[in-house]
Amino acid sequence: MFEPVDSRQSFPKLEEEILEFWKRHDTFKKSVEARPEEKTYVFYEGPPTANARPGVHHVLTRAFKDLFPRYKTMRGYRVPRKGGWDTHGLPVELEVERELGIKSKPEIEEFGVEEFNRRCRESVFRYVQEWAKLTDRIAFWIDMDDPYVTYHNEYIESVWWVIKSLWDKGLIYQDRRSTPHCPRCETSLSDAEVALGYKENTPDPSVSVKFRLTEESMAALGDKLPAGGATYVVAWTTTPWTLPGNTALAVKPDATYSVFEVEGDRIVVASERRQDVPEDATEVATLAGSALVGLHYEPLYEPLSWGVPASWFDAAEDGRLVSVDDLGTVENGYVILGGDFVSLDDGTGVVHVAPAFGAEDFQMGKENGLLFIQPVDLRGNMPDGSPWAGQFVKDADAGIMGDLTERNLLLKQGEIKHTYPFCWRCDTPLLYYAKPTWYIRTTAVKDRLIESNEEINWYPEHIKRGRFGDWLRNNVDWALSRERYWGTPLPVWECTSCGAYQCVGSRADLRERAADAAAVEALDDFHRPYIDRIELKCADCDGVAKRAPELMDVWLDSGAMPYAQWNYPHENQEKFRANFPADFICEAVDQTRGWFYTLHAEAVLLNSVGEAPEPLAFRNVICTGHILDEKGRKMSKSLGNAADPWEVIDQTGADALRWYLYTATRPGDARRFSIKLVQESLRRFFLTYWNTYSFFVTYANLDEFDPTKSGPGERTDLDRWVLSELNALVKKVTEGLDEYDPTTTGRAIQDFVEDLSNWYVRRSRRRFWRGELDDDKVAAYQTLYTCLVTVAKLLAPFAPFVAEAVYRNLVCAVDKGAPESVHLSDWPEAEAELVDQALMDETRLVMRVVSLGRAARQKSQMKVRQPLARVAVMVRAAVEATALKKLEDQVLSELNAKELVTVVGAGVSSEAGGLSVEELMAGEPPWDHLAVAEDDAGYAVAVDTRLTPELADEGVARELVHRLQNLRKAAGLEISDRIVAYHGDSERVAAVLATHGDYVRAETLADELVAGDPPDGATAEPVKIEGNEVTLAVRKA
């Protein structure tokens, strides 16, 4: 016997019970360990940070992360799933800063790095319980008991090994370059981080600034200019605060520049870019850009007088910066340069060059021996001696513009809205600063990065050559260092005497190089400030080496996860080899430049130095799209439109949520989300499946049907059809999941379940309902049983709870030898010999014809309960007519008719061959007894609405059955209860029952049909039979 099934089952409640079962039986662990170690499918968990609550978008990726490991497990693979936590980095520090109410690095130093980092360590697991709870509740099976944690010493040790491996091959270097810098966090950011923080429509000043040529340069222009007043070259910028750092201008040598006379002055702009020049200004001359090259101009400001140091790129020192006291000694101070990069698409055709800020500016400085002046500190404030002392640069813009206006050096002042980068965590506008930064030379392996990307399957596919491929093609060296506190320390020490660097790759390495080995032995935390206290012996001299103060980019941590999760190579060498590379990873698409890149880059780099066995870290990757709210807006905390996963799970259950996420759109597309849509997936799919299951259990229990104790029975066409569809489905789902496509496969399962319920079961109901357990009934049970169980298995990776519930009841209840969980069972094999394409096509045709037939009946206003004599069908080909004849039972019983006639139409329309549908199907007129429905494809169905007395009697009999069944239901009787029925004193009813009494008794499980009034206690109802009122009643026998 099967457990009775509640057709009104609460799914959230059911899921809680299943969770309990899994916990009790340790099912996850068993599911991993039941599979052979030598057949491993490798999954990498991209580590989340547990310092904030998980949201729906985390459920999205976790749903996909869970599906494929479950599927592969059922396919016989061992799929270990080690959890992990990302614990370092700026987001963590920011959270702690907020708690402490502090805002800057000096405040952290004052507070104490030791205590600060202790708090960071505590805060990263603040919401770990929430994460664990949600992970568990949505049935994302992952090992949370033994996760990798990026702050563990063992993890850090592996990250050091990564750096050391690259260091030894010269792939790590320090350089002073223009680097995106967050003035609030006082640290550099990587390109990947910058990419996370672009904001559109950011307003900035747009100013055209006049630079006055020196007297000498004006003179040098000589006869190219008519005599007149001062001459100004006009440059355009959106960052007035960089103007004190200006040390050069650049023009396009082959462009034409115009000289305009404005209020006695002359101003020079590119001829194509005169939009800022007053319209009434007269052009007094034109010049080639090359004529301006080499001229000098007066600086706008004198930062040296504010106490700002100056230096210059000294060619004699290989372009290194050398400090300078007298600007006049530098030949290329405040000079106009030629540059082909100068654009005539915007601005004035003259570019303001400040080597301390822009990347190109810095490069130009180096190439041309320019002055280098950095009049802004690392917190983004103007220097003390300046008129804007202590102001944040963006605030100083206004003052600078005001000053320039007063001095009549501003040609035009406006506002521009453009896209500008902000710090991805603290939202401060980023500044580009030239400062020393450590880099990984990823450009050295750029070709290999691109090449091995070809081996990766991307879903959606366009990411491979699109977003990710582009990123690789535009690869720049990875800015590695961060000037912060909570993170993996850069394992580089610098000699205080000779400046030599050394890099450390492990604890043992550190001990060996240390000035005091005992101090390393005693070191139980590799973080700052402890690590900073370790000093090394210099390898080159007698000096002492101190650690470079920087930390590493937190993204290096996560990209090192394939090695560091095992503390490789210091331990677990076998484990590492068995688990590299990953077969499958899955994250949101924003990880393209994040984890996907760092995993890939580190694998390629390590492979290039002979340390990783393959130049790729993952073979298959699914990128999920963003989740939007109901109105298509991105979900965000600030908008307050982020959906709470718990609300959905509590209402509909996790399976429904998962199902929605799999089937609503392809994984990579952005998707609108609302609880309504999840509820729809619950109703449309789960309830249909559940009720089919509940139906089976109800009747199987009544018949004491045991699938293990009976043969296949005698299959009908209907059985063969649904088994054919089932096996076609198994094939489709298997192939689909092998191609990492849960969306179309999920939809296919959904379609099958709908057919199973709304065709197979509907058409088969009577077989379950009546009579003994004969061969036909057995076939029906076996067929439905097979369908339900097979679907449960197909469903297991998608909807692990419902699949488990159905499987446990249908399989474990009767087969004690079966695995105790669907997740321990094997994936079904498609039986190709059961797939009958012709039968499936024929059945589709039947469905189509039946649908048309219902439309015809609708038109006739004749109840479907009333049997009709004849239904005529026009099909398009003779084979279709044959097929319909073969399956005529199904057509006739669905349409409640006695006889099926088929006609082959000439093709497209009812007018084919000059004959109407009526003529084609019914022969002679008149046809007023026909109700006809046709479609555009060339099919038509007509029903004959003439009733014989026999048909009318049968209609009455069926009407009585219908009414009595309703009464049974109203009386609250069990399906198997027997009754006595009463039908008043109607002659008409009595006459019908004389011929159809057996039928009515059988249908309603009536022992007796009594004419006359019901006794007290019976459930009664007056009904109209052919217009006459009759009181019907039932009572339990």
Partner RNA sequence: GGGCGAUUAGCUCAGCUGGUUAGAGCGCGGUCCUGAUAAGACCGAGGUCGGUGGUUCGAGUCCACCAUCGCCCA
Say whether 827 is catalytic. no
User: Do residues 380 and 386 make contact, with C-beta atoms less than 8 angstroms apart?
Assistant: no
* Dist CA 114 CA 134 (whole Å): 33
β-strand partners of 413: 207
The nearer residue to RNA, 421 or 491, going by C-beta atoms, is: 421
Please pick, among 223, 280, 631, 637, the residue that the annotation labels catalytic.
637
Find the binder of RNA among 36, 226, 278, 466 (CB under 7 A).
466
Please pick, among 634, 885, 886, 969, the residue that the annotation labels catalytic.
634
Find the binder of RNA among 933, 1000, 1030, 1033 (CB under 7 A).
933
Cis check: omega of the bond before 529, within 30 degrees of 0: yes
Name the minimum Å distance from CB 758 to RNA.
5
Name the minimum Å distance from CB 66 to RNA.
21
Find the binder of RNA among 593, 658, 793, 1035 (CB under 7 A).
593
User: Do residues 338 and 367 make contact, with C-beta atoms less than 8 angstroms apart?
Assistant: no
Name the minimum Å distance from CB 674 to RNA.
8
Q: How many residues bind RNA (CB under 7 A)?
A: 80
Cis check: omega of the bond before 926, within 30 degrees of 0: yes
Name residues contacting RNA, limited to 653-692 (CB under 7 A): 664-666, 669-672, 677, 680, 683-684, 687-688, 691-692
Say whether 30 is catalytic. no
Residue with tokens 């223009």: 178
Please pick, among 48, 80, 82, 86, the residue that the annotation labels catalytic.
86
462 binding RNA? (CB under 7 A): yes
Residues 6+ apart with CB under 8 A from 582: 42, 43, 44, 562, 617, 618, 619
Name the minimum Å distance from CB 267 to RNA.
26
For 296-320, b/e burial (b = at least 16 CB within 10 A) is bbebbbebbebebebbbbeeeeeee
634 binding RNA? (CB under 7 A): yes
Find the binder of RNA among 254, 974, 998, 1008 (CB under 7 A).
974
* Dist CA 878 CA 874 (whole Å): 10
| Beta-sheet pairing, 198-212 with 310-314 | unpaired
| Beta-sheet pairing, 457-459 with 618-624 | parallel
The nearer residue to RNA, 25 or 969, going by C-beta atoms, is: 969
The nearer residue to RNA, 102 or 855, going by C-beta atoms, is: 855
Picking from 486, 598, 615, the residue whose alpha carbon sits closest to that of residue 551 is: 486
282 binding RNA? (CB under 7 A): no
Name the minimum Å distance from CB 673 to RNA.
9
191 binding RNA? (CB under 7 A): yes
Say whether 412 is catalytic. no
Residue 660 amino acid letter: Y
| Beta-sheet pairing, 544-547 with 492-495 | antiparallel
* Dist CA 168 CA 145 (whole Å): 36
The nearer residue to RNA, 93 or 959, going by C-beta atoms, is: 959
Please pick, among 9, 22, 47, 553, the residue that the annotation labels catalytic.
47
Residue 549 amino acid letter: P
Say whether 516 is catalytic. no
975 binding RNA? (CB under 7 A): yes
1010 binding RNA? (CB under 7 A): no
Name residues contacting RNA, limited to 305-364 (CB under 7 A): none
Name residues contacting RNA, limited to 398-427 (CB under 7 A): 418-419
- Rounded to 10 degrees, the C-alpha dihedral 57/58/61/65 comes to -160
The nearer residue to RNA, 333 or 736, going by C-beta atoms, is: 736
708 binding RNA? (CB under 7 A): no
* Dist CA 772 CA 646 (whole Å): 48
Residue with tokens 């949370």: 144
DSSP state of 173: E
Name the minimum Å distance from CB 933 to RNA.
6
732 binding RNA? (CB under 7 A): no
Dmax over Cα atoms in the chain, in whole Å?
Answer: 128
637 binding RNA? (CB under 7 A): no
Name the minimum Å distance from CB 692 to RNA.
4
Say whether 502 is catalytic. no
Say whether 47 is catalytic. yes
Picking from 961, 984, 971, 983, the residue whose alpha carbon sits closest to that of residue 1036 is: 971
The nearer residue to RNA, 329 or 419, going by C-beta atoms, is: 419
β-strand partners of 420: 199
Find the binder of RNA among 19, 195, 812, 951 (CB under 7 A).
195
Name the minimum Å distance from CB 1033 to RNA.
13
Find the binder of RNA among 474, 637, 709, 949 (CB under 7 A).
474
Q: Considering only 92-100, 191-199, 312-320, 389-397, which stretch makes contact with RNA by CB under 7 A?
A: 191-199
Find the binder of RNA among 908, 991, 1002, 1011 (CB under 7 A).
908
1001 binding RNA? (CB under 7 A): no
Tokens representing 703 are 């018949």
Name residues contacting RNA, limited to 601-630 (CB under 7 A): 626
Say whether 793 is catalytic. no
Q: One symbol per residue from 841 to 880: x for binding RNA (CB under 7 A), - otherwise; what is it?
A: ----------xx-xx--x----xxx----------x----
785 binding RNA? (CB under 7 A): no
The nearer residue to RNA, 508 or 877, going by C-beta atoms, is: 877
User: Do residues 70 and 140 make contact, with C-beta atoms less than 8 angstroms apart?
Assistant: no
961 binding RNA? (CB under 7 A): yes
User: Do residues 335 and 350 make contact, with C-beta atoms less than 8 angstroms apart?
Assistant: no
User: Do residues 581 and 603 make contact, with C-beta atoms less than 8 angstroms apart?
Assistant: yes
The nearer residue to RNA, 517 or 877, going by C-beta atoms, is: 877
Residues 6+ apart with CB under 8 A from 355: 245, 247, 248, 313, 361, 362, 364, 365, 366, 370, 371, 372, 434
User: Do residues 386 and 306 make contact, with C-beta atoms less than 8 angstroms apart?
Assistant: yes
Name the minimum Å distance from CB 877 to RNA.
9
Name the minimum Å distance from CB 943 to RNA.
12
* Dist CA 472 CA 463 (whole Å): 12
The nearer residue to RNA, 61 or 231, going by C-beta atoms, is: 61
Residues 6+ apart with CB under 8 A from 305: 385
User: Do residues 620 and 667 make contact, with C-beta atoms less than 8 angstroms apart?
Assistant: no
470 binding RNA? (CB under 7 A): yes
The nearer residue to RNA, 463 or 789, going by C-beta atoms, is: 463
Residues taking part in catalysis: 47, 86, 555, 591, 595, 634, 637
